[in-house]
């Protein structure tokens, strides 16, 4: 269990994040890399680095065998998988265990159970966690079974891949007639993506938000939650902006603790150890349903770190070393507001087409309440082989309004030449009244927001900055004076935005 050297089986900003935690803890580090990453930041930062192979992931960062061999050769006692790649691969976690290497993450059994969405649903439901009504079996269901069950589930419904997650192999079905074709294409997509064509049905929850709860568990069975993250700002299942708290939950501490306790129950159902995330769909009436559990460190973990003060990566290492959690539930307090913008190498004016190129100039935002997690630097070549995430810009403010103003300032300071980024998208979003008002669901970016329209509007609505500033000042006064009672504050605060929204409809 104890180790003094960690191999980081990842690249980019998350490899850097983990390396930095190790450095602060006095843990020695081993990096692995693919050919195009030979000069990457994580390779330079680690004390040792080993080549895995050519660019494609299945010849490099997915090579479980090589990674374990390098860990043994370099005498790394533990492997941190980061996110993506091998992070949710139960066989890899098992292989580490078999070789006497600590996998910094949950047990293989927990990864496997949560990886099968049918098993995950059944397991958490049995533990008292609300799941979306739908088919309720761990058995394989034939088309015939599904056609029979569909009317009971009710329309519209969603066909989901058992092996899926993140929307792959998912189909919306509005009536029975659409079922056969949708089943066929969902199965085909799932087979191609996961080598498994098993599917199940869920009633479709309309107009829901995506809110997730961060959990931490140690080897003694203690599990706590670190509050929620709002992740509804996404496009094609790619999250773009995350925040904590959620504007939908903000002042409702009772609801937060209720969701948190349920998330802990879901984690307990699989004897969860280390950091994980329970995803929920939350409707307007605050009904919430378990969607899936991510059994890994997530991209958006920094917003939780900012508001709770917990270093999640250090906690992961502490847990993996067999120590007790450094916090009990009552130690966890949420303070202020954090927002993360994912800075991607993609063109927001051209259907978010990925862009590539060499970073010719880079100047990062700094100053109070600003954190940038990045894995690239001047001269680095953004290649098409991996995801398009260049960096994460995270800000903290006392209130949501302060955080938005700070994000606007930080986005303005951010300079990157050589590759097209989605920074203009984030700038437009931070000025959008529905975003400012916290009035959005998972369909917002795809159906209600267009950067082109937002920018057209900008010329005619130059007062947005002034309105935001007024709003923030108004919030500060209210906070100081305690005029508005707890729980009511949020709605009242945003009446300014509502007024402005009506003016410009």
Catalytic residues: 296
Q: Binding to ligand MV4 by residue 389, rule CB under 6 A?
A: no
Among 166, 322, 384, 487, binds ligand MV4 (CB under 6 A): 166
Which C-beta is closer to ligand MV4: that of 8 or that of 429?
429
Give the chain's radius of gyration (CA, Å): 23
Among 153, 159, 204, 389, the residue binding ligand MV4 under the rule CB under 6 A is 204
Cβ proximity to ligand MV4: between 19 and 429 the closer is 429
- Please tell me the distance from the alpha carbon of residue 361 to that of residue 296, in angstroms, as a whole number: 33
Mind spelling out the 3-state secondary structure of 13-62?
A: HHHHHHHHHHHHHCCEEEEEEEHHHCCCHHHHHCCEEEEEECCCHHHCCC
Contact status: 205 vs ligand MV4 (CB under 6 A): yes
> Which residues are CB-contacts of 275 (< 8 A; sequence separation ≥ 6)?
105, 214, 215, 216, 296, 297, 301, 312, 315, 316, 319
Is position 153 an interface residue for ligand MV4 (rule: CB under 6 A)? no
- By beta-carbon proximity to ligand MV4, the closer residue of 6 and 297 is 297
Per the CB < 8 A criterion, the answer to whether 173 and 154 are in contact is no
Closest CA to 87 of 8, 147, 171: 8
Nearest CB to ligand MV4, comparing residues 98 and 446: 446
Please report which helix (H) or strand (E) contains residue 381, including its range.
strand 381-382
Among 38-46, 52-60, 161-169, 180-188, the segment contacting ligand MV4 (CB under 6 A): 161-169
* Binding flag, residue 72, ligand MV4 (CB under 6 A): no
| 266: CB partners within 8 A, 6+ apart | 124, 127, 129, 278, 290, 293
Instruction: Kindly report the backbone phi and psi dihedral angles of residue 212, in degrees, each rounded to the nearest multiple of 5, phi listed first.
Output: -125, 155
As measured in angstroms, the least distance from the Cβ of 433 to ligand MV4 is 22
Q: Please, are residues 308 and 227 in contact by the beta-carbon 8 Å criterion?
A: yes
- Nearest distance from C-beta of residue 442 to ligand MV4, angstroms: 4
Q: Binding mask 96-135 vs ligand MV4 (x if CB under 6 A, - otherwise)? A: ------------------------------------x---
Is residue 367 involved in binding ligand MV4 (CB under 6 A)? no
Listed in sequence order, the residues at least 6 apart from 78 whose beta carbon sits closer than 8 Å to its beta carbon are 3, 5, 6, 7, 101, 102, 103, 104, 317, 320
150 near ligand MV4 (CB under 6 A) = no
Q: Does 189 bind ligand MV4 (CB under 6 A)?
A: no
Q: Is 213 in the site for ligand MV4 (CB under 6 A)?
A: no
Minimum distance from CB of 42 to ligand MV4 (Å)?
Answer: 29
* 233 touches ligand MV4 by CB under 6 A: no
Considering the rule CB under 6 A, would residue 207 count as an interface residue with ligand MV4? Answer: no
Closer residue to ligand MV4, CB minimum distance, 7 or 205: 205
Q: What values do phi and psi take at 243, rounded to 5? A: -145, 160
Find the shortest distance in angstroms from Cβ 213 to ligand MV4.
14
Size of the site for ligand MV4 (CB under 6 A): 18
Report how far residue 222's alpha carbon sits from residue 230's, in angstroms, rounded to the nearest whole number: 25
CB of 381 to ligand MV4, least distance (A): 31
DSSP structural state of residue 83? S
For the bound state, the minimum distance from the C-beta of residue 208 to ligand MV4, rounded and expressed in Å, comes to 6
Stretch that binds ligand MV4, among 47-55, 160-168, 378-386, 465-473 (CB under 6 A): 160-168
Q: How far apart are CA 360 and CA 123, in angstroms?
A: 50
Least distance between ligand MV4 and beta carbon 197 (Å): 18
CA 488 to chain centre: 29
Minimum CB distance to ligand MV4 smaller for 59 or for 283:
283
Question: Looking at beta carbons only, is 158 or 370 nearer to ligand MV4?
Answer: 158
Q: Which is nearer to ligand MV4, 56 or 166 (CB)?
A: 166
CA distance 490 to 419: 39
User: What mask of x and - would describe binding to ligand MV4 in positions 431 to 450, judged by CB under 6 A?
Assistant: -----------x--------
Cβ atoms of residues 308 and 302 within 8 Å:
no
Tell me the C-alpha distance between 460 and 442, whole Å.
28
**Contact status: 373 vs ligand MV4 (CB under 6 A):** no
The 3-class SS string of 388-439 reads: CEEEEEEEEECCHHHHHHHHHHHHHHCEEECCCCCHHHHHHHCCCHHHHCCC
Residues that bind ligand MV4 (CB under 6 A): 132, 158, 165-167, 170, 202-205, 208, 210, 234, 237, 281, 291-292, 442
């Amino acid at each position: 269990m104890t180790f003094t050297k960690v191999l980081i089986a990842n690249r980019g900003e998350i490899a850097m994040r983990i390396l930095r935690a190790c450095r602060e803890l006095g843990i020695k580090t081993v990096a692995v890399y693919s050919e195009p990453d030979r000069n990457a930041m994580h390779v330079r930062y680690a004390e040792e680095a080993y080549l895995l192979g050519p660019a494609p992931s299945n010849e490099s960062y997915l090579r479980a065998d090589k990674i374990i061999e390098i860990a043994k050769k370099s005498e790394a006692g533990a492997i941190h998988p980061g996110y993506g790649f091998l992070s949710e691969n139960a066989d890899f976690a098992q292989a580490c265990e078999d070789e006497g290497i600590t996998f910094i993450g949950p047990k293989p059994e927990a990864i496997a159970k949560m990886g099968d969405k049918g098993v995950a649903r059944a397991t958490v439901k049995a533990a008292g966690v609300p799941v979306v009504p739908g088919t309720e079996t761990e058995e394989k269901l034939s088309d015939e079974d599904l056609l029979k069950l569909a009317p009971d589930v009710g329309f519209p419904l969603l066909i989901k891949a058992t092996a899926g997650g993140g929307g792959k192999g998912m189909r919306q079905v509005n009536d029975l007639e659409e079922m056969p074709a949708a089943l066929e294409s969902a199965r085909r997509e799932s087979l191609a993506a996961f080598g498994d064509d098993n599917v199940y049905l869920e009633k479709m929850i309309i107009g829901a938000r995506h809110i997730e709860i961060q959990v931490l568990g140690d080897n003694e069975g203690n599990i706590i939650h670190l509050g929620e993250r709002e992740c509804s700002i996404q496009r094609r299942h790619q999250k773009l902006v995350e925040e904590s708290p959620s504007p939908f939950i903000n002042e409702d501490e009772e609801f937060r603790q209720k969701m948190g306790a349920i998330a802990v129950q879901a984690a307990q159902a699989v004897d969860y150890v280390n950091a994980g995330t329970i995803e929920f769909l939350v409707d307007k009436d605050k009904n919430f349903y378990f969607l899936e559990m991510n059994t890994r460190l997530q991209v958006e973990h920094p917003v939780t770190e900012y508001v709770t003060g917990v270093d999640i990566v250090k906690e992961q290492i502490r847990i993996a070393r067999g120590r007790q959690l450094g916090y009990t539930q009552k130690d966890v307090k949420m303070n202020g507001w954090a927002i993360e913008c994912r800075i991607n190498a993609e063109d927001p004016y051209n259907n978010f087409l990925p862009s590539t190129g060499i970073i010719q100039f880079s100047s990062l935002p700094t100053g109070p309440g600003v954190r940038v997690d990045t894995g690239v630097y001047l001269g680095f070549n953004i290649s098409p082989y991996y995801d398009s995430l260049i960096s994460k810009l995270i800000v903290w403010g006392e209130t949501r309004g302060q955080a938005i103003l700070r994000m606007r300032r930080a986005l303005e300071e951010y300079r990157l030449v050589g590759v097209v980024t989605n920074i203009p998208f984030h700038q437009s979003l931070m000025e959008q009244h529905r975003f400012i008002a916290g009035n959005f669901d998972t369909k917002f970016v795809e159906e209600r927001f267009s950067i082109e329209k937002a920018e057209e509007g900008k010329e005619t609505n130059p007062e947005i900055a002034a309105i935001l500033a007024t709003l923030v000042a108004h919030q500060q006064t209210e906070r100081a004076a305690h005029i508005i009672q707890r729980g009511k504050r949020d709605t009242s605060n945003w009446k300014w935005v509502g007024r402005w929204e009506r003016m410009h409809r």
